[in-house]
Copies of this chain bind each other. A is one copy, B any other.
Amino acid sequence: MSGGFARLPAPPYYAVIFSSRRNGADPGEYAAAADRMLELARVQPGFLGVESAREADGFGITVSYWESEAAIRAWREHAEHAQVRRHGRRHWYEHYELRVARVERASGFEGG
Contacts and interface: CB of A to CB of B under 8 A. Distances in A.
A52 B57 contact: no
Most chain B CB within 10 A, of A4, A55, A93, is at A55
Nearest to A52: B61
A15 B106 CA distance: 12
Contacts of A47: none
6 contacts: A6-B19, A53-B55, A56-B56, A61-B61, A95-B110, A101-B102
Taking the full assembly, how many copies of this chain does it contain?
Answer: 2
Interface residues of A, number: 42
A99 B107 CA distance: 7
Contacts of A111: 23, 89, 93-95
Closest 4 interchain pairs by CB? Answer: A101-B101, A97-B108, A101-B103, A53-B53
Nearest to A97: B108
A52 B62 CA distance: 11
A100 B104 contact: yes
B110 A106 contact: no
A75 to B, nearest CB: 15
